[in-house]
Amino acid sequence: MPKNIDIQVPSLNGKLALVTGASDGIGFHITARLARAGAEVIMPVRNREKGEKAAERILGSNPSAKLELRDLDLSSLASVTALTDELVAEGRPINILINNAGVMTPPERRATSDGFELQFGTNHLGHFSLTTGLLPLLKEGKAHVTTQISVAANQGAVNWDDINWERGYSNMGSYSSSKIATGLLSMHLHRLSEANGWGIQSNLSHPGVSPTNLLSAQPGMGRTSDTTEVKVIRVLSRIGIAGTPQSATLPAVLAATSPDAKAATSTVRRAPATSAEAPPSRSSTRESRVKRMRVACGSCPSSSSPSTPPANLASWSEPSLPTSSAAAARRCRRKTLA
């Protein structure tokens, strides 16, 4: 049987949090846990009906939960821009941002509405655009920004020469590439925060292995039945070898709320054991080995990428910070990662 594992979460009364992927799986449980600690949680969802049902479930066990549904499709930069512009216009500081949502290994190559390969476009570029668009609110809220990483970041590499996987698609290769990129984003955000005095703490969390819908049947993504992997994970979870969606919540909650959580590092739980420090991930070792990596975007003459990319994090500098992902997209250009 799975072991019950828990952590202490400080009072989050008066805090505003935003969790992507909040209507299902790990994101749902993260949202419920933050709300239980007193935070007001924004739930940006792609499917409004599914989001409403998720909110009702949380309110059923916690009637005092403060939840707010918003519309967001991370595979659409226009949708990300609409949300970030809306929130920036409202002006409420954000104290916690958990970049949790993602897609994993569609059987065949698919593209976002902007023409990017689906996994890289959703997992990395969508969160990239969201984070840059919310930057003024994150700075004002001295936010903790926690990004979910994957063991897939310890293998493969960012496919710089064919970032959209147009010359040969590997579903796991693309997933790995997207997760390495999110790791680089998280660490670079914290470096920039320290250098510019933004007060943002950015770190990574790893949920371990648990039976979520990430590998389940998703006809809209071309997967008509559950994968063998998720079937095995469900069995392992039932006998206590793999984690549960509830236990997989804990690393992100710890990383986003604990005053002891370190920035620009990873928090890993090897289910069902207690939390343990992670070994250096490929996203950190690769960064030290390849300091001169350049980020290709669609506005670069030598790139075959679509023409409307999100912000280039390496271009962030005071005083002309992007205040929306649309503005950031216009400023995107080839840069060298510091």
Residue ranges of alpha helices (H) inside the chain are 25-36, 48-61, 77-90, 118-119, 127-133, 135-140, 171-196, 228-238, 245-257, 282-289, 325-331
- Contact by Cβ (8 Å): 254, 205: yes
CA angle (186, 188, 190) in 5-degree steps: 75
Cα-based distances in Å from 189 to 1, 185, 232: 40, 6, 36
d(CA 84, CA 163): 25
DSSP secondary structure letter of residue 84: H
d(CA 305, CA 26): 31
Closest CA to 153 of 328, 319, 281: 281
Cα-based distances in Å from 29 to 20, 34, 335: 12, 9, 38
Amino acid at position 29, single letter: H
Other Cβ atoms within 10 Å of 26 Cβ, number: 31
User: Which residues are catalytic, by number?
Assistant: 175
3-state SS assignment for residue 310: coil
